[in-house]
Amino acid sequence: MRFNPSPILATVALALVPAVTSSNRVEKTTSEDRTTQAVDPACDCYTVSGPDPGYFQHHRFWDFRQVPLNPAAASTFQFQPNSPPSRADYGANAAPVLLKDTPFSSEWAVQDWGRGGTPLFPVTIVNSNKNVYLTSHAAGGGPTFLVMRTTRFEAFSSTAEIETNLLNFMHVSLRVRLRILEKGEDILSPVNAEQALGQRIQSRSDNNTTSEPHSSHAQRRKEKRLLPSVGACVGIFTFFSRTSESDIEILTSDPPNRVHYANQPDYDPIRNIVIPGSQIAADSPTPWTAWSTYRLDWLPTMSRWYVENQEQANLAYGVPVDPSRLVINLWSDGGLWSGNLTVGDSVHLGIEWIEVAYNLTGDVPKLCNRNCRIDNVAVPGIPEII
C-alpha cells in the first residue's frame, strides 16, 4: 500500500462527522480463531490450482449474495453459502444493512481510524462504518452484495476498510469476488450526513445546467454512467508491517483492466526509485467494472496473483515472513498514487464473496486424510473432495 495503514489519529474536527476516534483494530493474537467454523468439516486440508498446491489447514468463505436486507434478520445471518433467506426480506421495505451490525464483525473489524494530511498525502482520510454495508440495486430483484464506499469532501475523504480479527495468518490463498461499480449505479445506500452533503453538491451541479432541457440533461448523465470517478484506490492485502506485506491494488485512474501487484517494500525513499522486482502491473482478462475473482496466493517462497484463475504475476522478492492480518480497503488521499477525487464524487466497490484457505500443514501431503480443493468454480465456497 502507498500509505501507512497504521492509525495516525487526525486532530481535525469535521463539521459533519465526529472527530476522528481511536482505532478499533483488534491487537490480541490468538493461536486459533475461535469464531472459525468450517463449512466443510469432512476436509482436513485444502489445496489450490497452480504450481503450488499449498496444503492449507483451514478454510473460510463469507457469502454476501443472499443476505436479508432487513436489520433484524441480518443481525443473525451467518454468511455461509446456500442459505437463502425469505424473499420477503427483499421487498419494498428492503434497506441497506451496516456490516458492523452483523455476525461478520466477529471475524472482520470495520475500521474507524483516520489519518491527517501530509505534504505527500494532502487529503485527510477518515474511515467510517457507514461506508461498509450490505445492499442491492434499488430496482430490486437481484442478488445482494457488500459495498465499500469512499467519498471526497472539501476537508477530507470518507473512506472504508475492513480487517480480520485473526492476526496470525501465515500463508494464504485469498480470493475476493468484486467489481468497482459504474458511476451513477442506483444502489440502496445508508442515509447519513455525508450522503446528504453529497446530494446537495449534486443538486447545485444540476441547477447550474438549467439552460439545458431536462430530458437532454438526463440522457447526458446516463451516457456518462460508465467508468467510476478517477482518484480512488482499492487495496486487498496481507499486512504485518510496511516491510512485510503482499498487495493487490486497483487505481480508478488506470485503464479498467490494469491491476498492480507488489510485495513490500516496493519503493526506496533514499534513492527515490521503485525497487526492481518488487511490483508488477498487468492487464487482467476482464475489466474491474465486471464481476471477477481476484486471488492472492502467499506461499513460503513466492507470491502469485490470479484473476479468474489466470495467473497474472508472481514475485519471489519480499515474500512476507510474519504472521499477518488480511485487509480490504477503498481510499483516496490526494497523493500521487491514489490521485485526487473531485469534491462530491464517490467510488463504490462491490464484493460478492470472500474466500481464504490459510496456514500451511507443511510439506507432507500424506498427513491429509481428506484433501479438498477450493477451486470449484461452479459452486464457490464448497470445497471439492479429491
Lowest mean pLDDT segment, chosen from 98-102, 350-354, 368-372: 368-372
Q: Please give the average per-residue pLDDT across 242-265, as a whole number.
A: 96
User: Count of domains in the chain?
Assistant: 1
Burial class of residue 105, CB neighbours in 10 A (0-12, 13-18, 19+): middle
pLDDT, tens digit (0-9, with 9 covering 90-100), for 106-122: 999 999 999 999 998 99
Omega before residue 7 within 30° of 0, cis: no
Question: Above 90 in pLDDT, residue 352?
Answer: yes
The chain-wide mean pLDDT, for the chain, equals 81
Strands 132-135 and 97-98: antiparallel
Q: Is residue 216 part of a domain?
A: no
Taking the model in full, what pTM does it have?
A: 0.83
Amino acid at 154: E
Cα-Cα-Cα-Cα dihedral sign, residues 217, 220, 222, 225: negative
Instruction: Identify the residue with better confidence: 24 or 327.
Output: 327
Q: Report d(CA 157, CA 343) in Å as an integer.
A: 9
Backbone phi, then psi, for 188, in 5-degree steps?
Answer: -75, 125
Distance of CA 90 to the CA centre of its chain: 24
CATH code, domain with 346: 2.60.120.200
Query: What is the reported pLDDT for 215?
Result: 35
Q: Which three cell numbers stand for residue 319?
A: 515474500
Is 156 within 8 Å of 12 (Cβ atoms)? yes
Query: What is the reported pLDDT for 274?
Result: 84
Give the number of other CB atoms < 10 A from CB of residue 137: 15
Lowest mean pLDDT segment, chosen from 12-26, 251-265, 294-308: 12-26
Question: Above 80 in pLDDT, residue 148?
Answer: yes
Full domain range(s) for residue 82: 45-204+227-385
Q: Is residue 10 part of a domain?
A: no
Lowest mean pLDDT segment, chosen from 46-50, 164-168, 213-217, 330-334: 213-217
Q: Report d(CA 88, CA 91) in Å as an integer.
A: 5
pLDDT tier, 300 (very low <50, low <70, confident <90, very high otherwise): very high
Query: What is the reported pLDDT for 348?
Result: 97
Query: What is the reported pLDDT for 136?
Result: 92
Q: Report d(CA 288, CA 256) in Å as an integer.
A: 6
Q: Please give the average per-residue pLDDT across 155-162, as a whole number.
A: 97
Q: Is residue 15 part of a domain?
A: no
Lowest mean pLDDT segment, chosen from 109-113, 204-208, 225-229: 204-208
Is 165 within 8 Å of 100 (Cβ atoms)? no
Query: What is the reported pLDDT for 211?
Result: 32
